[in-house]
Amino acid sequence: MMSRLLRKLRARLSKALYLGLALGLVYFCLPKDVRPAVVRDRNYAEHDITLSLEEKANETWVEVISWSPRAFLVHNLFTDAEADHVVEMSRDHLKRSLTKGGGKEDAKRSKFRTSDSSSLEKYQTRVVAALEERVAILLSYPALHQESLKVLRYNPGQLYKPHFDAFSVKKQRPGDSNRAATVILYLTEVEEGGETNFPRAKLDIGYDMRHRDRMERTTSCDGGRMWRTILPFEIKLSSTNTVTPKKGSALVFYDLDPAANYIDDDSLHEGCPVISGEKWSGTFWVRTGSPLEALTTPHTKRRVKDLFGAKLEVLRGEGKKLRSFFKQTRY
C-alpha cells in the first residue's frame, strides 16, 4: 500500500517538474520585450523617503487635510530645480486640455476644463524618473501603474470645474484598470487663486485651524454648484475646502474607496480659476493596474537602460510608506 502511494507521488512530482521545465523553456524562448517585468525591491532613482507629521524646514513632512476623502499634503517632496525642469520641458508643447468620461468616447474640449497641458513620457529624463519613482514609494503602487505625467498650465480665468478622476464602472471596458489615487505636484506658487477645492470634504480639524486665512482670501471656486441639483439637500458643499498651491509640495488623495471597488463621492474636486499670475502643476493618476498605454514597450525599456543601465522592473512591496503610515496615525 505504502509503496503504491510513493509511486503515485513520484509520478505526480515528475509531471510537475517536467511542466515547470517546459514553462521555463517557453519563457526563455520568448522575446525579452514581451516577457513580464521582474519584481525588484529598489527603485532606479529613489531608494527611500522619510515621512514626518511634524513641520520640518526643507524636509519631507505630511499634513492631513481630510479623512473623507483621504487627502494629504506632502511638503517638500521635490526641489525647486526639479519643478523648474518639468515646467521647461513642457512649455513649448502645450495644447488645450481635453476631457474624457471613460469608455470608448473620444476626448474633447470642454468649458469645464480650460487649462493647457502637455504629457511627458515615462522615464523621459532622470528628473522625471525620480519623480515617478518617488511617488511610487510614497503610495506603495508600482511606478508602472502611473499614467504619464500630465503637466498643466492655468492662466488667469482658466479652471477645471468639480469632477471625479476615477471612472464610473458602467463606463469602463472589461479589463480596464481604474484611477485609485491622484497626486498633484505644485510646480509654482500662484499670485492669487488657483486653489484645489474639495466641495464635499470633511476637513481635519487641525488643517482647518492652521489654514483659517483661506477664508479671507479672494477666490472664485465653484464649490460644486452644478452638483447641488443632483445631490440630496442634506449634503453640504463648500467653496472653501481649499488647498493653496505651494511649490515643491504634492497633494495626494484617493479616488476610490479603500477596497478600490467604487468611486469615493467625497473625492469630488476642482481646480479653481487663477485670478492673477500663472499656475503650473503636474498630475500623476495612479491606477489599480498598469494603464492601457504600453508602458513596458521596447521604447520604455530602452529609455530605462539608457538612463540607469538597468532592466525595466516593477517596484512592489514598499508598504511601510504612505498607506501604512496613515493607518497608524489616524485618530
Residues 45 and 23 in one domain: no
Q: Is residue 220 assigned to a domain?
A: yes
Query: DSSP state, 189?
Result: -
Give me the chain's average pLDDT, please: 81
Residues 220 and 93 in one domain: yes
Q: How confident is the model at residue 62 (pLDDT cuts 50, 70, 90)?
A: very high
Residue 309 in grid coordinates: 543601465
Q: How confident is the model at residue 329 (pLDDT cuts 50, 70, 90)?
A: very low
Residues 22 and 130 in one domain: no
What pLDDT, on a 0 to 100 scale, did the predictor assign at position 281? 98
pLDDT digits (tens, 9 = 90+) for 223-276: 988 887 777 767 889 999 999 999 999 999 999 998 888 999 999 999 999 999
Q: How far apart are CA 23 and CA 27, in angstroms?
A: 6
Residues 7 and 100 in one domain: no
Report percent pLDDT > 70 for the chain. Answer: 74
Q: What is the mean pLDDT of residues 27-51?
A: 53
Residue 86 in grid coordinates: 518639468
Amino acid at position 285, single letter: W
What pLDDT, on a 0 to 100 scale, did the predictor assign at position 182? 98
Residues 105 and 252 in one domain: yes
Q: Is residue 191 assigned to a domain?
A: yes
Q: Is residue 35 assigned to a domain?
A: no
Residues 72 and 97 in one domain: yes
**Does 295 have pLDDT greater than 80?**
no
What pLDDT, on a 0 to 100 scale, did the predictor assign at position 319? 38
Q: Is residue 209 assigned to a domain?
A: yes
Residues 168 and 301 in one domain: yes
Kindly report the CATH number assigned to the domain that includes residue 310: 2.60.120.620
Q: Is residue 49 assigned to a domain?
A: yes
Q: Is residue 210 assigned to a domain?
A: yes
Q: Is residue 300 assigned to a domain?
A: yes
What pLDDT, on a 0 to 100 scale, did the predictor assign at position 291? 67
Residues 21 and 163 in one domain: no
Q: What is the mean pLDDT of residues 110-116?
A: 92
**Residue from 235, 243, 249, 229 nearest 272 by CA:** 243
Q: Are strands 313-315 and 38-40 parallel, antiparallel or unpaired?
A: parallel
Residue ranges with strand state E in 157-303: 160-163, 179-186, 192-193, 196-197, 202-203, 242-243, 250-254, 269-271, 274-276, 279-287
What pLDDT, on a 0 to 100 scale, did the predictor assign at position 289? 80
Cβ contacts of 216 within 8 Å, gap of 6 or more: none
Residues 218 and 292 in one domain: yes
Residues 318 and 215 in one domain: yes
Residues 325 and 269 in one domain: yes
Q: Is residue 101 assigned to a domain?
A: yes
**Residue from 235, 245, 230 nearest 280 by CA:** 245
What pLDDT, on a 0 to 100 scale, did the predictor assign at position 8? 63
pLDDT digits (tens, 9 = 90+) for 298-309: 677 788 788 877
Which is more confidently placed, 60 or 1?
60
Q: What is the mean pLDDT of residues 121-145?
A: 88
Give the number of domains in the chain: 2
Q: How confident is the model at residue 54 (pLDDT cuts 50, 70, 90)?
A: confident
What pLDDT, on a 0 to 100 scale, did the predictor assign at position 13? 56
Residues 20 and 83 in one domain: no
pLDDT digits (tens, 9 = 90+) for 147-188: 999 999 999 999 999 999 999 877 777 667 899 999 999 999
Domain that holds residue 17: 1-30
Phi, psi of 196, rounded to the nearest 5 degrees: -105, 125
Residue 11 in grid coordinates: 509520478
What pLDDT, on a 0 to 100 scale, did the predictor assign at position 328? 44
What pLDDT, on a 0 to 100 scale, did the predictor assign at position 42? 46
What pLDDT, on a 0 to 100 scale, did the predictor assign at position 226? 85
